[in-house]
Structure 1
Amino acid sequence: MDLRLEVEFSKTELTERIDSLKNQIDQSRPLPQEIEDKVMQKLRLEWNYHSNAIEGNRLNYGETVAFLMTGITAKGKSLKDHLDIRGHNEAILFLLSIVKDERDFTESDIRALHERILVEPYDSPAQTAEGISTKKRITLGKYKTQPNHVKTVTGETHYYASPEETPAKMQELMDWYKEASQNKEIHPLILAALFHYKFVAIHPFDDGNGRLSRILMNLILMRNGFPPVVIKMEDRQNYYANLSQADTGNFWPFIEYIGDYLTNSLNLYLKAIEGRDIDEPEDIDKEIALFKLELNNKIEFST
């Protein structure tokens, strides 16, 4: 397998900068458990919110935090929105167990993560080849049985792997990952970003591919001692644009994009280590305060 491009991508100023930040953190280890817990809770809550919001989930950040931390559900928001948040959080917990066990992941793990993300089968709007509106049943942990190509905003069709191609394409992806992960010249950032792109390009499941691609990317990073990256919902157009560039064979913009987000997560750890405030205006305590204010203003919530 020719991995020269992956190796070349690993010899850049970006990877050197990321390694420098990680080394600064590693020099402070072992970190106080309170710092580890606080940073990971912040990243986990943001990850749950933003990754679901990118896919259209209607819970806002405050509602997401309240639901995950207290079980309070937001009136006017669907059961599916809440199940997606709960399932995504369960998938992160499963990811953390893989990292803790210090083992690599398999196709079976990918299927298990998919089951956790989607929680239960459901019907989703679809179109026939003739353009007629219909519904398709979304099943858990099973590769797609129907094409899942999508229409872009310009009306063009974006093609993913066909159902017939998908099992072989997934085997190719896992073979690439196994070999690339064993090559010490390939940086974990390169491995994680390219796995994300390759997985999305296959789109192996009927639904949940975006959320799962970001979970698998972070699983690779965390297995290699890096924090997870959180792609922000408000930046999703740039996210999609960089993925589209990768479709043309220009992978570096997407790698650089993920690298910038990884830099943000590393800097968050350094701020916590230095005793600086890691909260921002949209963060946990202030969002919960806003949530309580809205509650007092007679926005009703069911439990």
Structure 2
Amino acid sequence: MAIYFTPTGDAAEDKRIWRLHASGRVEKLANGIYYQQEGETREAEIRRNWQRLVVKLVPHAVITDRTGMEVKPVRHSDDGPYNVYVVAPRSRWTFELPGLSIHVRKGHGPANGDIPYLGTHLAGQERRLLDNLAFSRARKGEGSRTLGEAAVEAKLDELCRANGAEYLNGIRDRARHLAPLLDRDTEFQRLNGIIGTLLNTHKDKMLTPQGRARAAGTPIDVACVERFQKLITYMAARAPQAILNADTNPDRLMASSFVEAYFSNYIEGTEFAVDQATEIVFEGKIPDDRPEDGHDVLGTYLQLVERVERPPSRTSFEEFKDEIRTRHGRLMESRPGIKPGQFKTQTNRAGDTSFVTPDLLEGTLREGHAMMASIQDPFHRSLFLHYMMAEVHPFNDGNGRISRILMTRELLSANLSRIVVPTVFRDDYVDSLRALSRRDEPSIFVRNLEFCQRVSAACSASTAAAAIDLWAKTYAFCEDSREARLTMPNAALNITNRNGVYAPDDYWQALANKNGLGL
């Protein structure tokens, strides 16, 4: 360890540390605190041991104010020190250490509800909420020591989401008894007002989107809405893509709608040979052994081929909600077990990703719908709509197909080319959604769909057969994405149909070589 504290309780050890200091091998940081360079920088070592330094420098301290809420040092500027805020029954003071300032304000020491923490105390839930509601003026060279009403409001919404309304009532009751001890009666009145408004027993102005949504009876998933904003911010700094719709007559519209319906279902695991899907859509043949799957393909096609009278983004929220429920009911009508047209009542998952919980579903959709309407570029608006629906996942099943149907309708309403995601690009597409959902990285999602739109526009054709041939020349139907990548259509490629899969001959040769079969 590179930081030493004296006295240690061992006289010999104390003398050893003092000798090291006298010889210049350790540095004295403050009375009884010494530092010896071992690996980390002095500033990093001090910051990592901030709790131990508080224990040494400020006996009977309580970690509170913004440090109590965040439980870590905070930096108010890129080149300034990190800051820790505590309260103790002593005079106001600031301990300045290399890279770290420990700010002490005079106040009550540990109280009922405070939590023993690494030799000191961390303010209990009620105390840290009351303290962060206290007014604090930012001083020259440093920021505010408290987080303020908006942060407290957001924290209370988070606690309500996790624990329910009664938990907030418990906080209020305990804070009422604690406030006089801490001289926080004014802050308690504000806390009481915030909790009352969140629980719809009081009317007051809310400062945060989540606070306003909960007060209106439609709480939101804050992390999800923050991802919406990251996507909007990224797209706002990116040049819009304006590839016009090439499906200028009914025949082209039918051909492109068929291809999109085929791939949209294939992505979700509803797999047919292309020729089977052609029979389902254009000849009305329902597969005897898979009637529900057949209806999924046909139902998707029928929604993609219908005329767009009004884009989803140009509706009121209530109209939007009715539209998505109606579309889902039509799409999934052959699967009564998933409750077509009804919002989910249990949280759904995909792998290790959990989507928006049912109690936050409508509020999050409402917030997203309002954000979507503010996006000026129709291409970016369509991408946002697709991601919003995929991320909220409002239904038990069929969310991916509905999200892509809505994206296409938004694009076609602006006379822009549809975006088709083919089989060979499935992993890239799913990974780009995950990058935004799990890592807050929107660029991959946007760039992937930009590329898919360029390919989709180039594959517009006057018949389904011609469209299938063009898409095959992009490697679109190839299932092994390690042996093929999506490209613009290459007219020089020769296409062979094997077991219902149309693909270039070099793809089949690569699979044969991989399996040691040859051709």
Q: Same fold (TM over 0.5)?
A: yes
Distance 1:240 1:216 in 2: 18
Counterpart position of 2:334:
120
Counterpart position of 1:132:
none
Picking from 247, 251, 261, the partner of 1:38 is: 251
Structure 2 residue 353 is the aligned partner of structure 1 residue 163: no
Asked if the contact 1:144/1:163 (under 8 Å) is kept, the reply is yes
Distance 1:188 1:72 in 2: 37
Aligned to 2:334, the other structure's residue is in SS state coil
- 1:7 CA displacement: 6.2
Distance 2:471 2:367 in 1: 44
Counterpart position of 1:12:
238
Relative to 1, partners in 2 of residues 1:9 and 1:97: Cα closer, same or farther, differing over 3 Å?
closer
Distance 1:102 1:165 in 2: 21
Distance 1:119 1:69 in 2: 20
Relative to 1, partners in 2 of residues 1:74 and 1:246: Cα closer, same or farther, differing over 3 Å?
same
Structure 2 residue 312 is the aligned partner of structure 1 residue 98: no
Distance 2:231 2:389 in 1: 18
Relative to 1, partners in 2 of residues 1:10 and 1:160: Cα closer, same or farther, differing over 3 Å?
same
Counterpart position of 2:423:
233
Picking from 433, 441, 445, the partner of 1:254 is: 445
Segments of structure 2 that go 5 or more residues without pairing to the other structure are: 1-208, 210-225, 474-494, 501-519
TM-score, normalised by the number of residues in structure 2: 0.42
Distance 1:121 1:48 in 2: 18
Relative to 1, partners in 2 of residues 1:4 and 1:250: Cα closer, same or farther, differing over 3 Å?
closer
Letter in 1 for 2:232: E
Q: What are the equivalent positions in structure 2 for 1:1-303 lying under 5 Å apart?
A: 6=232, 9-12=235-238, 15=240, 18-19=241-242, 21-22=243-244, 36-74=249-287, 77-94=289-306, 96-99=307-310, 104=315, 106-123=320-337, 138-150=338-350, 152=351, 157-180=352-375, 184=376, 187-247=377-437, 248-268=439-459, 279-280=469-470, 282=472
- 1:100 CA displacement: 9.2
Letter in 2 for 1:88: T
Distance 1:93 1:251 in 2: 29
- 1:188 CA displacement: 2.0
Counterpart position of 1:296:
none
**Greater helix percent: which structure?**
1
Segments of structure 1 that go 5 or more residues without pairing to the other structure are: 26-30, 124-137, 292-303
Letter in 2 for 1:253: I
Distance 1:222 1:257 in 2: 19
Distance 1:5 1:148 in 2: 23
Q: Which has the higher contact order (CA 8 A, sep 6+)?
A: 1
Letter in 2 for 1:251: P
Distance 2:358 2:311 in 1: 34
Distance 1:220 1:261 in 2: 16
- 1:168 CA displacement: 0.9
Aligned pairs, number: 245
Relative to 1, partners in 2 of residues 1:287 and 1:38: Cα closer, same or farther, differing over 3 Å?
farther
Aligned to 1:106, the other structure's residue is in SS state helix
Relative to 1, partners in 2 of residues 1:59 and 1:189: Cα closer, same or farther, differing over 3 Å?
same
Asked if the contact 1:62/1:287 (under 8 Å) is kept, the reply is no
Distance 1:36 1:202 in 2: 34
Percent of aligned positions that are identical = 20
Specify the structure having the higher radius of gyration (Cα). 2
Distance 1:44 1:287 in 2: 23
- 1:80 CA displacement: 1.1
Relative to 1, partners in 2 of residues 1:142 and 1:175: Cα closer, same or farther, differing over 3 Å?
same
Relative to 1, partners in 2 of residues 1:257 and 1:167: Cα closer, same or farther, differing over 3 Å?
same
Asked if the contact 2:277/2:297 (under 8 Å) is kept, the reply is yes
Task: Give deviations 1:216-245, integer Å, cap 9, x for gaps.
Answer: 111111111112111002221111100011
TM-score, normalised by the number of residues in structure 1: 0.70
